A and B are shown apart, each in its own frame.
Chain A
Amino acid sequence: MSQSLWQSVLGEIEVSVSHATFMTWFKNTELLENTNDSVTIAVPNIFAQRQFEVKFNDQIKSILEKNGVTPSSINYIVKTNQKRQSTSRETTRSAPITSAADRLVAPIKTKVITNGLNPRYTFKNFIVGSSNDLAYSACQAVAKNPGSKYNPLFLYGGVGLGKTHLIQAVGNEITTRDPDTTVLYISSETFVNDFLESIRFKKKGFADKYRNVDVLIVDDMQFIAGKEKTQEEFFHTFNALHQTNKQIIISSDKPPRNIPTLTERLRSRFEWGMSIDIQMPDFETRCAILEAKAAASSAEIDRATVEYLANSIKTNIRELEGALNQLLAYSEMRGVPADIAMAEGLIGNVRRTRPQHLTSKQIIDRTAKHFQLTSAEICSAKRDKHIVTPRQIAMYLLRSELHLSFPKIAQELGRKDHTTAIHSVEKIEKAVKLDVLIREQVAELREKLYV
């Protein structure tokens, strides 16, 4: 009752004063007591108390009267969250803490509220497929034994493949297992900003914030590149944490050695623990993701439509989800179930952002350029090693992206025999699974093709 009364007072005041004024004074206020002749309102501090007494009293009184409450007086009191302690001398704690810890006062573990994690990201709702199962298992291992298994854990992979989801899931899992663990999730940008601020305003507490945690999770590490002083600070933070066996988890869009202008000592440290890449999800994983998402928003969607979506958007899970959301919203609005025809109409919009037609010539040209060769060299009869691998990759891409027939592939690259093409495609298919270098190059090339 009193709460809704105060709500209506706040509502009316909000429209009559500026937003800044409202936020400054009326945030964290509440109506404590409403008897017939007096109303008590709790305010957060002494400044607000005085401000209410002098400036807002008349306004509040008249709004209250409009709502049928006519108090003869309104009291404003400063509400403290905790009861102030009494002056009693007895020592309640019997066990002396002196011998136990090397700190005078055991630090209170900061609660989940400040750790920056989004509770939505959990292991449960992460879809595992062949492209990310290694990363998934590593993350689970870390969540079970933070600080001892893989430290640091370095995840890298393209945009929208689930890095953030995974590393946040680790943080969430750790806090559910042991609520006393301090987890801090930040983006590298936050780290940079905090650092700059600590220099600019000579603020203290920077080291305290980052070095007193049990698990430090840094997202999008690549943005630290080129910022030398920050890298140095991160280096020290890293050492302080690593030496005391605190878990460090880092994500980036590139492997450590490919981040330009990353100092050598950070690079070597990042490669120290475990670095795992997250690949683009395969078709089945994409279908599973779509189905899980649709189930989460309790919508039904038939298999054909799911497959159509999964086929249309291959490189980015965020886009995939976007398309699904769009489809579901559209079907809800129209009141008809989602089907392929509707999806086709909508996906058109999504796909237009990517080149619609990828030609074999583009693939060959881009592959050649990527390896600093000319298209002529790739298509020539030369069998030098530095030309052969790129040629095989080009064939693989022609097969995987354009689904060309083997004879056609052979022809595009100036080969006579289509078995060459079969061999090449098979070879790269295998290499992608086994050879990190090839896998990265293929992934990078795919990115380039679809930009």
Chain B
Amino acid sequence: MEVTVTQENLSFALSNASRVASSKAGLPILSNILLRTDGSRLLVAATNLEVASSHKIGAKVIKPGSLTVPAKLLSDFLQNLPKGQITLTTNGAKLHIKADTSSSTINGVDDEEFPELPVIDDKKAVSYSIASDDFKQSVAQTVIAASSDSTRPILTGVYWHSFENNLYLAATDGYRLTERRIVDTASDVIAVIPTTTLQEVIRTLRDDTSEVEILFDETQVTFRLAEVEITSRLIDGNFPDYRQLIPATSDSSFTINRSELMRTIKIASLFARESGGGITLTLDTDAAKLTIHSIASEVGENSSEVNVTSTGVSASVSLNSRYLIDALNAVTSNEVNFGFSGKLAPCVLTEAVKDPVYKHIIMPLKS
């Protein structure tokens, strides 16, 4: 193999692929990166048998061929090279890298042992094109609620599904739940995508990529971002029927400026560390006031009052302030709406608009 590529392209591809390459899997070759010529391009790929990341970068191919080399070493090496042209040549299982001023040789392994990369059948798959800003936002808004408890794998992913002609994303860890509506859809999709895969896609997504193409089949999902393709397995199992848990109406609700609420809750959370982040919101609908109270027996206590637009009955509820801060960070609008029904029913935070696309549900603390 003999190819010439630019440092920028190769370095970008390597830094993404090397994140996927795993060092602790049973198969040693999985910590390597595959370099293979593909027409007039160079394929850079890695996999950990959960997710595979492959990049095709423009190259001047002088002699086709392929080789695998240790991912971390190659990636670190490339990162520190100056910008400009790089020539890669193979000699047996050795990779020679020649840059402007330096040249080096890395011992590789024949690509025969490298796992075949899964391919998705475009014809059979259900596909979507989503604007990358929309995709980024939707994923970021939902993954925060995904669980990290490996004893329930199904909750460690984000649930992509079609419902009443819309594509929805949902995630929950049992204490909170997020739901985001993305696009209209005519086809049926049901898939639970691992959180790690989604985070990988977000990290790989460059600012200049305008659209993300997503293809689903029964067992796998592929994300196409310009020259990058990320394929992942789906999580097996049935996602809980969460929709019945979202309260349709709330007994009490208020609307407030998001940053004002955030500021007040951050203050209250300072006094809530001892009680596991618990703060109490008390809504007085007659005076249109919200009181946020937190107490730490050893440190002191805090109580703040803000004016709100409120409806329903006066009531109070205790919540984990960390969850509330996460939720407020995820919402994008200036005004937010918060609804709750007594001390035990789930609370709903949404953007203060008609028919909001994003819902964030938090379970109250028992107190």
Contacts and interface: CB of A to CB of B under 8 A. Distances in A.
A205 interface: yes
Contacts of A82: 236-238
B149 A212 contact: yes
A209 interface: yes
A85 B242 CA distance: 14
Interface residues of B, number: 54
Interface stretch (B8-16, B150-158, B330-338): B150-158
A20 B220 contact: no
B52 interface: yes
Given A45-B233, A97-B245, A105 B172 contact: yes
Contacts of B172: 104-105
Nearest to A212: B149
Nearest to A203: B148
Identify the interface centre among B163, B175, B241, B345: most chain A CB within 10 Å of its CB. B241
Contacts of B148: 203-205, 208
B73 interface: no
Contacts of A24: 25-27, 49
A297 interface: no
Interface in B158-212: 161-163, 172, 174-177, 188, 190
Contacts of B25: 24
A50 B115 CA distance: 8
A47 B233 contact: yes
B342 to A, nearest CB: 10
Given A49-B118, A104-B174, A21 B150 contact: no
Contacts of A53: 116
A91 B240 CA distance: 11
B175, B219, B244, B361, most chain A CB atoms within 10 A:
B219
Given A21-B113, A80-B236, A209-B151, A104 B161 contact: no
Given A114-B151, A205-B149, A102 B345 contact: no
Nearest to B150: A205
Contact of A84 (B116, B218, B247): B218
A51 B116 contact: yes
Interface string B263-305: 0000000000000000000000000000000000000000000
A208 B218 contact: no
A433 interface: no
Interface in B218-273: 218-220, 231, 233, 236-245, 247
Interface in B1-46: 25-28
Interface string A113-140: 0100000000000000000000000000
A298 interface: no
A145 to B, nearest CB: 24
B345 A46 contact: no
Contacts, number: 119
B119 interface: yes
Interface string A47-60: 11111011100000
A48 B219 CA distance: 12
Interface in A28-59: 45-51, 53-55
A85 B159 CA distance: 12
B117 A104 contact: no
B26 A23 contact: yes
B237 A78 contact: no
A383 B267 CA distance: 69
A105 B155 contact: yes
A99 interface: yes
A52 to B, nearest CB: 9
A96 interface: yes
Nearest to B162: A87
Interface in A195-248: 203-205, 208-209, 212
A390 B179 CA distance: 73
Contacts of A54: 116
A209 B148 CA distance: 10
Nearest to A204: B148
A363 to B, nearest CB: 53
B123 interface: no
Interface in B107-151: 113, 115-119, 147-151
Contacts of B239: 85
B218 A104 contact: no
Q: Of residues B147, B155, B174, which shows the largest number of chain A Cβ atoms within 10 Å of its Cβ? A: B174
Contacts of B188: 87
A353 interface: no
Contacts of A258: none
A1 B9 CA distance: 54
Given A91-B244, A204-B148, A205-B149, A105 B174 contact: yes
Nearest to A27: B26
Contacts of B344: 99, 102
A105 B242 contact: yes
B151 A102 contact: no
B363 A107 contact: no
A85 B115 contact: no
A55 B112 CA distance: 9
Contact of B152 (A78, A84, A91, A107): A107
A97 B115 CA distance: 45
Given A47-B47, A50-B117, A104 B346 contact: yes
B354 interface: no
A110 interface: yes
29 contacts: A20-B28, A21-B27, A46-B231, A46-B233, A47-B233, A48-B49, A50-B115, A50-B117, A50-B119, A51-B116, A80-B218, A80-B219, A82-B238, A84-B218, A85-B238, A87-B162, A91-B244, A97-B245, A102-B364, A104-B172, A104-B175, A105-B155, A105-B245, A107-B174, A108-B152, A203-B148, A204-B148, A208-B147, A212-B151
Closest 7 CB pairs of A and B: A204-B148, A208-B149, A205-B148, A78-B219, A50-B116, A54-B116, A46-B118
Interface of A: 20-21, 23-24, 45-51, 53-55, 78, 80-82, 84-87, 89, 91-93, 96-99, 102-105, 107-108, 110, 114, 203-205, 208-209, 212
